[in-house]
Amino acid sequence: MKLRELLDKFADFIDNNRGNITRYLLVILASISLIVVFFISSDEMSISKEVDHLVRNIESRKYQIAYDYYEGLKTNFSDSKMKRFNKSASKKINSVIINNGDKYINGQITKEQYIGLINTANALDEITVNVENLIEQAKRVDEMYLQENISYDVALSYMNIASSLNGINEDLDDYKQNIKDFYESRAVYEEATNNQQVKKYHEAIDGYNKVLEEDKKYYKLAKTAKEECIKIMYDYYIQKAVEANEKGNYDEAIKYISYLKPYYQDDEKIVTLENEYQENLALYTMSEDDIISLISKKMESTREGISINSYQQMINGGKFYYVELYKYDTLIDEILVDSKTKKIYSYKSNDKDYNATYSDGYFKVTPTGEFRFALSEGECSFALENKLKEKNETFKNIEIVSDQNSNKYVKNNKILEDFLKSNKNAYYYALVNKGFFKKKELFLIDMYTKNIYIVENDKVVNY
């Protein structure tokens, strides 16, 4: 009964003091809410303060201090608080990354400073990179390089450094490749321009053709330059082809004509020159095998042990091959091969003589580098004939004889031998028959100079 009375009194108290009780409860709830908000705000203010401290160290490039500070926070903060910290820090650090990316592009910070920032961001392993912002910046860098507002080195190094950020993966690869492609295209254009300046028009056109159409400025420049090359290279390559043909370089002459053909397909002059050079190539070009076969035939011997070194040589407008002839790796002759007549000439002079008997003639090289061919037997005989007539000498005939047959007309062979030791070019021996009951006279003729010597009174003297 007493409990019931107590409850009734409590109910009456509530009814009588309802307004005051409500006010007291609201005050208590407000106080609790304020305490909760205070603790939450205090926690958030602590996180914001820690984030600002970390970011200031990063912006001051105190990267090691920033890293150590971050690692300390991971130890002291709870998991939930660290997650909130990372979320807040990620926003500010992403802003720092973007700002410093712009500074690097504009030359306000060095490459090393930018790399240091990125490496530090990577070391803060729970910081999240805003990939979209970085892709947008990479796109701007790509456009800036295309418009030539930054250098290739800066553009590419930016891409390489930014790509190393955690979470980027291959997102910047397209921009990086685009920069490389444009760089290579522009490098090709520059090389083509240099080739054009030194009259390498074929190489220049080849380069201009490789300029990327997407690179509108340089593509337009390349197109204009190519058209200019086509116009001015006609006379130049025609002249080069003519000169090469005159030197016996028929392959080279044909090459110059081939440079013109794609752009002057119906040009009669080009067709005529090409046909001429193709014919010359077929007629006058000899392979090493051709040369060895020709020499072996002249020597009336097999090819066994024969090898050569050959060099093309133009002499008096004719194409020859200068040949070093070896047998079992021993030099046995130096030969000129006439590519047109297929005649061969062996080297013979006072200084050098291979004693070749199989050649069609002889040659030597003067101290000034001039090739000089020996006179033929007929030319020497004719020179002696004119000399005799000039001296009013009467004679029946002139006979060119071998050195062996000449000995019988010399009393002292030693005198002749001594003379020939220092006058090896006196190659031809001529017997002059002056009639019955008259002794035949022996003459020696220098096959290069036409100097004539007579053997008389055991002496060899100028005639």
206 in a domain, yes or no? no
Where in the sequence is the domain holding 443, given as residue range(s)?
387-462
162 in a domain, yes or no? yes
Give the Å distances, CA to CA, from 72 to 58, 65, 75, 315, 319: 15, 11, 5, 89, 88
User: Is 68 in the same domain as 164?
Assistant: yes
* Least confident piece of the model among 36-45, 50-59, 238-247, 274-283: 36-45
442 in a domain, yes or no? yes
User: Is 165 in the same domain as 80?
Assistant: yes
> Torsion angle of alpha carbons 69, 70, 71, 73, nearest 10°?
90
pTM: 0.62
User: Is 308 in the same domain as 230?
Assistant: no
> Using one digit for the tens of pLDDT, what is the confidence trace for 69-82?
888 888 888 888 88
Does position 34 have pLDDT exceeding 50, yes or no? no
User: Is 109 in the same domain as 15?
Assistant: yes
Mean pLDDT to the nearest integer, 355-363: 89
368 in a domain, yes or no? yes
Mean pLDDT to the nearest integer, 307-322: 89
- CATH code, domain carrying 266: 1.20.58
Mean pLDDT to the nearest integer, 253-258: 95
Beta bridge partners of 347: 363
Domain boundary among 228, 250, 282: 282
Domain boundary among 282, 309, 326: 282
- Any residues with CB less than 8 A from the CB of 240 and at least 6 apart, and which? 256
β-strands 361-365, 344-347 pairing: parallel
381 in a domain, yes or no? no
- SS3 for the chain is CHHHHHHHHHHHHHHHCHHHHHHHHHHHHHHHHHHHHHHHHHHHHHHHHHHHHHHHHHHCCCHHHHHHHHHHHHHHCCHHHHHHHHHHHHHHHHHHHHHHHHHHHCCCCCHHHHHHHHHHHHHCCCCCCCHHHHHHHHHHHHHHHHCCCCCHHHHHHHHHHHHCCCCCCCCCHHHHHHHHHHHHHHHHHHHHHHHHHCCCHHHHHHHHCCCCCCCHHHHHHHHHHHHHHHHHHHHHHHHHHHHHHHCCCHHHHHHHHHHHCCCCCCCHHHHHHHHHHHHHHHHHCCCHHHHHHHHHHHHCCCCCCEEEEEEEEEECCEEEEEEEEEECCEEEEEEEEECCCCCEEEEECCCCECCCCCCCEEEEECCCCCEEECCCHHHHHHHHHHHHHHCCCCCCEEEEECHHHHHHHCCCHHHHHHHHHHCCCEEEEEEEECCCCCCCEEEEEECCCCCEEEEECCEEEEC
382 in a domain, yes or no? no
327 in a domain, yes or no? yes
Give the Å distances, CA to CA, from 114 to 117, 129, 166, 369: 5, 16, 15, 66
CA–CA dist 6, 2 (Å, integer): 6
> Using one digit for the tens of pLDDT, what is the confidence trace for 133-170?
999 999 999 999 999 999 999 999 999 999 999 888 88
Q: What percent of the chain has pLDDT over 70?
A: 90
Give pLDDT, residue 291: 92
User: Is 131 in the same domain as 9?
Assistant: yes
Give pLDDT, residue 22: 67
> Using one digit for the tens of pLDDT, what is the confidence trace for 183-231?
999 999 999 999 999 999 999 999 999 999 999 999 999 999 999 999 9
Tokens matching residue 230: 């086509």
Q: At what angle do helices 173-197 and 131-146 cross, to 10 degrees?
A: 10
> From the centroid of its chain, how far is CA 119?
38
Beta bridge partners of 365: 371
Number of domains, the chain: 4
CA–CA dist 243, 448 (Å, integer): 30
177 in a domain, yes or no? no
CA–CA dist 392, 97 (Å, integer): 110
> Using one digit for the tens of pLDDT, what is the confidence trace for 105-118?
999 999 999 999 99
User: Is 272 in the same domain as 311?
Assistant: no
User: Is 274 in the same domain as 290?
Assistant: no
> Using one digit for the tens of pLDDT, what is the confidence trace for 387-429?
889 888 888 888 888 777 777 777 777 778 878 887 888 888 8
CA atoms in the 13 A half-sphere facing the CB of 319: 18
User: Is 351 in the same domain as 453?
Assistant: no
User: Is 9 in the same domain as 152?
Assistant: yes
User: Is 166 in the same domain as 141?
Assistant: yes
User: Is 297 in the same domain as 278?
Assistant: no
Tokens matching residue 98: 């973007």
User: Is 30 in the same domain as 115?
Assistant: yes
Phi, psi of 410 (to 5 degrees): -125, 125
CA–CA dist 432, 442 (Å, integer): 7
Read off the pLDDT band of 436 (50, 70, 90). Answer: confident
Give pLDDT, residue 76: 86
Residue bearing tokens 């990063």: 58
Q: Taking all residues of the chain, what is their mean pLDDT, rounded to a whole number? A: 87
Tokens matching residue 212: 């990327």
Return the amino acid letter for 310. S
Domain boundary among 236, 260, 282: 282
Give pLDDT, residue 217: 94
CA–CA dist 89, 52 (Å, integer): 8
